[in-house]
Structure 1
Amino acid sequence: MSRAAPDLPALGDLAESLSPGALLTEPDSLAAYRFDYTADAGAGMPLAVVRAGSAEDVQATVRWAGAHGTPVVPRGAGSGLSGGANAVDGCIVLSLERMRALEIDPTTRTAVVEPGALNAEVKRAAAQHGLWYPPDPSSFEICSIGGNVATNAGGLCCVKYGVTMDYVLGLDVVLADGTLVRLGGQRVKDSAGLSLVKLFVGSEGTLGIVTRATLRLVPAQTPPATLVATFDDVEAAARVVVAIGNRMRASMMELMDQASINAVEDHRSMGLDRTAGAMLLAQSDAPGGARGEEIAEMERVCSAGGARECFTTTDAEEGEMFVAARRSAIIAIERRGAIMLEDVGVPVPRLPELLTGIAAIARHREVEIPVVAHAGDGNTHPVVVHPPGDPDAKARAAQAFSEVMSLAISLGGTITGEHGVGRLKRAALPEQLGPDVMALTHRIKNALDPQGILNPGAAF
C-alpha cells in the first residue's frame, strides 16, 4: 500500500506531542536507526525517529502515525538477528531504548521493567535479592527486554528453564489506535479471560508495542558443574544429546561443530580442541550431591556414545570460561565472511538428521555452514558464510539459507526457535504454518491493526 509522506508541518505537530528532544529528523540520525544487527541492505530510510521516554510518547507516536497512514517500526536495542527492526521507507522508527525503568519486588518475586532495560540489567538487579531471571540469550549483555518479549527470546538455559514467554506475567501494550492496555500482573496464576499476554509475546511489534513488562523471577541458580566432551562428528554428539535428554534435564546443553570451534580459536584462543568434529558443553545445577551425580551420568553417556575426551569441573569460574567460548561463537564466525544466520529447531530426537542434513546442504551449495546449537532443546544456529562481493556465492548462500529452513520444517521443526521471523524469514513462514493458520494470523493482525501500520513487512 503506497502512502504519501507527511509534510514538515505535520512532523512539527508530532514533535509538539512528544517529550522534548524525542523526535530526530537529521539525516545522520535517520541512517543510524535504519538497521538492526542484520544490517540488511534492503532496509529502508525512515521519515523520522522517535526516542520515546514514556508510554505517553509511544501513544502519541502511534496516534500520529495512524492519522497520517505512516508505518511504525518498533526498535529495542537493535541487536535483533532476523531483520525485525529494520526500517521501511517513510516509516517512523520508534526506539524504546530510553525507557529503562526497572523495579524488583522480592515479595512477589517479580521484576517490573520498561522495554529498554537490558536483559543483563534485570539479571543483576534480581541477583541483589537472591533471585534470577533465567532467559539467557548469548547477547544478554546488549539485548533489551522489549526485544526479548517481541521475539520470545531464549538462550543457553532454555533446555531446563524455558523461554521468555514462560516468565512474562503481565504486559502494558499500546495498540495501533494508541490505546494503552494492561494485561496480567504480579500474579503467578490467572485464568480470567483470554490469555492475551501470550498473544503479544513473540508478535514482533506487529500487534502492539510493549511499554512495560512484569517478569517472573526464581531463586538464584546454584553454581553449576560443567562437562565438556569432544566427538569425531556432529552426528555422534547429537545422538548423545538425545540419550542424555532421555535420562535427565541438564541446565545447559550446547553444541559446537568443528568450523565454529575453529572460528572461536581464530578469534580468541580459548584452548578448544581444533581437531574435534564436535564439542558438547553441558551443565547441571541440581541441588547438593545430585549435581555431581548428574554430571557423572552425563560423562558415562558421552563415553558410551563415542566421546574422544571428557572433562568435568565443579569450579563455576572454570565452567564459565567454556560458556564464554560458546557465547562468542557467532561473533567469531562473522569474521569469516558475510553471513546469513539461521535459527531453526526440531524435536530433539530429529537433531542428528538436522545436523547431517545441514552438512549435506553445505556440500551441495559449496558454502560453509558452521553450526552452534542449544542442542538440549533442538534449537540450532547454522550460519551460512560466503565471501563478500561474490554474487554467485551470495546466490548459493541464499539457496542454502532457504533449504536449511525447508529441511527443519520437513523434520517437524520450525524456521525460528528464538530470533523471530522478522523480514529475513518471512517468505518461509507459510511453508511451516500452512494456509489456514496463515489466514487466521492475518485475521488477528487485521483486527488489531486494520491500517497495517505496525511493523509492516515483519513476521507475516
Structure 2
Amino acid sequence: MSNDALLQRLRDQLGSSAVLTDTDVTGSYARDMMPLAPVGKPLAVVLPADTAGVQAVVRACAEANVPIVPRGAGSGLSGAANAIDGCVVLVLTKLDEIVEVDAGNRLAVVQPGVVNLDFRSAVEKHGLFYPPDPSSYDWCTIGGNLSTNAGGLCCVKYGVTTDSVLGLEVVLADGSVLNTGRRTVKGVAGYDLTKLFIGSEGTLGVITQATVALRPLPQAPATFVAGFSSTEAAGEAVARAVREGLVPSLLEIMDAASIKASETYLNTDLGAGSDCQALLLGQSDSGGEVARRELAALEQICTDCGADLAYATDDLEEGKMLLQARRVVLTALETYGIWLTDDVCVPRTRIAELIRGCERISEKVGLKIAVVGHAGDGNMHPTIVYSPDSEDEFARARQAFDEILEVGLSLGGTVTGEHGVGKIKREWLAREIGPVGVRVHRQIKQALDPENLFNPGSMFSMTD
C-alpha cells in the first residue's frame, strides 16, 4: 500500500478531520518536552475517537508497513513520543471519557486521553482519590502516565502509576484487542500482562482503556519544612526517617540553587536563611493526631541531624505556599535560561552524594545545575540551565546530562525513576540491564510486535 493509499484509507475510516498532514500542524505533534531527543517528520497525525478507530489505524499501518508512534499530551521528558521520519503519530487525546466510577469497589475505568487532574477531580466527588500526581498533572494524560509509569510527589506513600492499575485494554500489532488484569482486589491468574504494558512507552501495544484502583480521599495535609546548612545533614535526616519507618505522604528535597530560584520567582522568603544548602518539605495526610505525631517525629529527626529550621503547620494555605516553592522550580529556572531536567533514582541513603556529584559537574561544565527531587524514594531531578542561543552551552548541557547518569549508576541507582528511557537513554538502559536484559527485551518485543512498527527506536534498538 502506498502512502497516498494509506492516507486515503485513514480518511475514509476516521474522517478527514481526524487525519492531519499539513506540516505546520504535524510539526506541533512531533516531539515532547525533551530537547535532547531526536525527532523526525511524520507522514501524518491521526486522532481516532475510540478503540475501533485505533484498531483501524493499526491495521492500516501494518498493511502499509508504516511505523506508529503513540502520543498523549506531549508532556514527556524522554523523547518517547517523538516522531520518526515517515511515521503516523497516533494521538489518543480524543479518547477522553471516564467510563465508570465504581465507588463501592473503589475503582474506575478511564480512557487514555483524560487529563490526570481532571480525573483526580472527578473521583474526588465520590470521596475517592487517585494517587499518581506527576508535576505536569494539570495537563498530562492518563495514557502517557501509563506508558511511562509516571510517578510524582506522592510516590513515597502511594507508589507510582503501576501500583494503582488493575487492568488494561490494549490494541496489539495485528489490530486485535487484549484485555489484561481484573476488577478484583486479588488475582494471580497467568502472567502479569498489565505490568508488562505499563512503562513500555508504546513499544508493545496501544493502551485504549485502564481499570484503576482508587483510595479513600485522604485527610487535609499538614506540612513541615526543615532547612539545613549541610546537604549531608539533610541526607542523614532522610535516611533516619526511612530507618525509623516514617512514611509521610510527601517528602521532597531542594538544593541551594533551587531554593534561591523559587524564592526569587515567588518573591518570598522560605525562612531557611542565606546559608541554607538543602530544604526538606514534607506532608502527612493521615489527619488529626496521627499527622501531628508523624510530623513531630520528622521535626525531631531533622533537629537531631542539625537542621537550622524545623517547622510544621496544619494551616492549609501556609502548607500550599510552602509546597508551591517546590512545584515552581522548573518555571523559576526559566528566568536563567532553557532547562534540561534529568531523572535518576538512587538509594535514599545516597541522595547527598548525588547532589554533591551534581555540584562537581556544574563546576566542571560551567552551567547552573539545580537539584530537586522526591527524597522519600530517592528519585532526583537535577536540572541543567543553559542559553538557548549558545550551541556550546547546549553541548555542555548534554555532557552534564550524561555525567549525572554516570554518577547515579555509580551510586547503585537507576538511569530513570519515572520519566522513562525514550530515545535519549537507550545506551544507558543497555548499561544498566546488561546484554541478557537487552536480549529479553528484544524477545518480548519480537513476540508482540514482530514487524517492529510500534514506536521503533524507543527504549532500545532491535539490532546492535
TM-score (norm 1): 0.96
Counterpart for residue 353 of structure 1: 353
Could you tell which deviates more after superposition, 387-396 or 132-141?
Answer: 387-396
* Aligned pairs (5 A) from 1:325-336: 325-336=325-336
Q: CA deviation at 1:316?
A: 2.3
In the other structure, the counterpart of 1:260 is 258
Alignment-mate amino acid for residue 211 of structure 2: T
Matched, 1:168 2:160: no
Structure 1 residue 389, shift from structure 2 partner? 2.5
| Pair 1:279-2:276 in alignment | no
Matches within 5 A, 1:317-332: 317-332=317-332
CA contact (8 A) 1:234 1:277 kept: yes
Query: Relative to structure 1, is the Cα distance of residues 274 and 267 closer, same or farther in structure 2, using a 3 angstrom cutoff?
Result: farther
Q: Deviations over 1:73-121 (max 9, x none)?
A: 1101111111111111111010001111102110111110000001111
* Aligned twin of 2:20: 24
Measured against aligned partners, the alpha-carbon deviations of 1:308-331 in whole angstroms (never above 9, x if no partner) come to 112210112321222222111122
Q: Which moved more, 1:39-48 or 1:66-75?
A: 39-48
Superposed counterparts of 1:349-428, under 5 Å? 349-428=349-428
Question: Which residue identity does 1:256 align to in structure 2?
Answer: M
Where does the alignment leave 5 or more consecutive residues of structure 2 unmatched? none
Task: Give, in whole Å, the separation in 1 of the partners of 2:383 and 2:420.
Answer: 16
1:8 corresponds to which letter in structure 2?
D
What amino acid does structure 1 have at the position aligned with 2:364?
H
Partner-residue secondary structure (3-state), 2:429: helix
AA paired with 1:441? H
Equivalent residue in structure 2 for 1:202, among 199, 203, 207: 199
Deviation of the 1:274 alpha carbon: 6.5
SS at match of 2:344: coil
Cα distance in 2 between the residues matched to 1:148 and 1:198: 13
Aligned positions of 1:31-430 closer than 5 A: 31-40=27-36, 42-102=38-98, 103-247=100-244, 248-272=246-270, 273=272, 275=274, 276-430=276-430
- Partner secondary structure for residue 241 of structure 2: helix
1:416-458 deviation digits (Å, cap 9, x = unpaired): 1111111122221111111110111111111111111111121
Deviation at 1:40, TM superposition (A): 4.9
Give 1:7 shift: 3.1
Distance 1:40 1:274, change over 3 A: farther
1:184 deviation in Å? 1.4
| Distance apart, 1:396 and its partner CA | 2.0
Quote the Cα distance in structure 2 between the aligned partners of 1:288 and 1:313. 12
Rounded to whole Å, the distance in 1 between the matches of 2:23 and 2:386 is: 31
| 1-structure distance, mates of 2:92, 2:342 | 26
Contact kept, 8 Å, 2:37 with 2:79, in 1: the verdict is no
In 2, distance between residues paired with 1:79 and 1:363?
30
**What is the aligned partner in structure 2 of residue 448 from structure 1?**
448
Deviation string, structure 1 residues 8-27 (Cα, Å, up to 9, x no partner)? 23310121122452111122
User: Shift of the alpha carbon at 1:39?
Assistant: 4.6
Structure 2 contact 3–64 (Cα < 8 Å) conserved: no
Report the Cα offset of residue 224 of structure 1.
1.6
Amino acid at match of 2:249: S
Any conservation in 2 of the 1:261–1:274 contact (CA below 8 Å)? no
Distance 2:441 2:398 in 1: 26
Code of the aligned partner of 2:85: D
Once structures 1 and 2 are overlaid, which stretch shifts more, 98-107 or 211-220? 98-107
CA contact (8 A) 1:170 1:213 kept: yes
Query: How far did 1:222 drift?
Result: 0.9
Query: 1:393 offset after TM fit, Å?
Result: 2.2
Aligned residues: 456
Q: Which amino acid is the alignment partner of residue 60 of structure 2?
A: W
- Return the letter of the residue paired with 1:216: A
Q: Is 2:37–2:78's contact at 8 Å kept on the other side of the alignment?
A: no
Deviation at 1:190, TM superposition (A): 0.9
- % same residue: 47
Q: Taking structure 1 as reference, are residues 444 and 274 closer, same or farther at Cα in structure 2, changes over 3 Å only?
A: farther
**SS of equivalent to 1:289:** helix
CA contact (8 A) 2:78 2:419 kept: yes
Q: 1:15 aligns with which of 2, 11, 14?
A: 11
Deviations 1:147-193 (Å, cap 9, x if unpaired)? 00001111011001111000000100011111111111321111111
The separation in 1 between residues aligned to 2:91 and 2:207, in whole angstroms, is: 12
Q: 1:381 to 1:192 in 2, by over 3 A?
A: same
- Deviates further, 209-218 or 24-33: 24-33
The AA in structure 1 aligned to 2:369 is I
Q: CA deviation at 1:47?
A: 0.5
Whole-angstrom CA distance in 1 between matches of 2:152 and 2:37: 27
TM-score (norm 2): 0.95
Q: 1:238: how far off?
A: 1.6
Task: Give, in whole Å, the separation in 2 of the partners of 1:28 and 1:62.
Answer: 24
Q: Does the Cα contact within 8 Å between 1:345 and 1:414 map onto a contact in 2?
A: yes
Q: Distance in 1 between matches of 2:2 and 2:458?
A: 23
CA change 1:166–1:316 in 2 (3 A) is: same
Moved more, 34-43 or 310-319: 34-43
The amino acid that maps onto 2:243 is N
Provide the alpha-carbon RMSD of the alignment: 1.5
Q: Greater CA deviation, 326-335 or 372-381?
A: 326-335
- 1:242-284 deviation digits (Å, cap 9, x = unpaired): 1112121111100111111122233332432472211110112
Q: Structure 1 residue 405: deviation in Å?
A: 0.7
